[in-house]
Amino acid sequence: MSDQSFTFYRPSPQLAPYIRYYWALRLPRFSSTLTFPIGCPQIIFHRKTSFFIPELSASQPRFTISGQVNFPSHILSEGELDTIVAVFHPHALSMFIGPVLHDFYNMEISGHDLSDRQLDSLAHDVGNCEDIPACVSMIDSLLLARLKSMQSRKYSAMKALNFRRLDAVLKQIMNKPDTRMDKLCELSCLGKKQFERLFRSHIGMNPKEYSRIVRFQKTLWLMQRHEHSVDYAEIVYSCGYADQSHFIREFKLFTAHTPTSLLTVTKPYSDLFSNPFYSTS
């Protein structure tokens, strides 16, 4: 798929700290593509054909909650695509849907399994609306209403505090993925066990594993920016890998390719570090 196949939409300003963007994809026919762990949970609305994920031996439900994953996927589809996706910041989805995010680890869950009438109604309305901007507006409106409702409740103070704690931690990980655990605990003002529990419940995996995905995404970003003159030694240093062997081993874990072989099958693109509304050059 080319980047031109996607249409991106901004969330409402009040939702910007929680939702990175929405994207829509319409294609008359789609075969397959290789995807990687992006570090962000998503809500997916398939209005026609769903994606089949061979690594899970399953198709995504038409209304999917997609959690954190730690493996590459060769997603397939044999029909017409008409899909809308809400991409959340790493620690934000649990603010809106309730269940702890580690329940969605390496899984594609039907949104209907949440037994949430509002979300069920939203999925029905999105599935029956032809106009994509109108569908995005429906999704944005429901999430905005949930945010306002959440902010008016008594327990919102603790939720807001935990969100700020994780926000500070994630900024540090994005800047320096190899930050030590004791530094992350210090930033959160929590003990190690409390911090790890909070991190897993809101982000969906443990801090060490998530930091590895961020480091991998940072690697993709550097390859993306210097596609025709990739300096792998600089990537090893900048991203905090122990050595080049460590870098290649981690890269193969998340892509099923070495860095050089990946360049022969696709252009590197970092979903986590790229902003689709601005040039990445």
Question: Of 116, 77, 75, whose CA–CA distance to 98 is shortest?
Answer: 116
- Pairwise CA distance, residues 202 & 49, whole Å: 30
Res 3: pLDDT: 52
Residue with structure tokens 């930050």?
179
168-227 residue pLDDT tens: 999 999 999 999 999 999 999 999 999 999 999 999 999 999 999 999 999 999 999 987
Q: What would the mean pLDDT of 9-37 be, rounded to a whole number?
A: 94
Mean of per-residue pLDDT scores for the chain = 93
Strands 81-88 and 108-110: unpaired
The pLDDT assigned to 31 comes to: 76
Q: Which two tokens stand for residue 113?
A: 């399994």
Q: Is the pLDDT of residue 98 over 80?
A: no
- The pLDDT value given to residue 280: 44
Q: Give the list of residues 6+ apart from residue 172 with CB closer than 8 angstroms, or none.
A: 179, 183, 184, 187
Q: What percent of the chain has pLDDT over 70?
A: 96
CA angle 110, 112, 118 (to 5 degrees): 135
The second-level CATH assignment, the architecture, of 209-262 is: Orthogonal Bundle (1.10)
Q: What's the pLDDT score for residue 16?
A: 97
Find the radius of gyration of the CA atoms of the chain. Answer: 19
- Residue 2's pLDDT band, with cuts at 50, 70 and 90, is very low
Residue 207 contacts residue 243 (beta carbons within 8 Å) = no
Structure token pair of residue 33: 């593509």
Q: Where is average pLDDT lowest: 72-76, 149-153, 174-178, 272-276?
A: 149-153
**What mean pLDDT comes out for the span 255-275?**
94
Helix, strand or coil, per DSSP, at residue 121: helix
Is the domain spanning 3-151 CATH 1.10.3470? The answer is no
Confidence label for 99 from pLDDT (cuts 50, 70 and 90) = low
Residues 253-266 have a mean pLDDT of 95
Position 154 scores a pLDDT of 60
Model-level pTM?
0.94
- Residue 204 DSSP symbol: S
Does residue 33 contact residue 1 with C-beta atoms inside 8 Å?
Answer: yes
**Rounded CA separation 260/270 (Å):** 16
Using the predicted structure, report yes or no on whether residue 266 has a pLDDT greater than 70: yes
How far is Cα 98 from Cα 79, in angstroms, rounded to an integer?
A: 33
Q: In the chain, what percentage of residues exceed pLDDT 90?
A: 83
pLDDT in tens, 115-154: 999 999 999 999 999 999 999 999 999 999 999 888 776 6
CA 25 – CA 8 distance, rounded (Å):
9
Confidence at residue 226, expressed as pLDDT on a 0 to 100 scale: 86
The pLDDT of residue 155 is 58
Q: Give the confidence band of 107 by pLDDT, cuts at 50, 70, 90.
A: very high
Q: For residues 134 and 132, give the distance between their C-alpha atoms in angstroms, rounded to a whole number.
A: 5
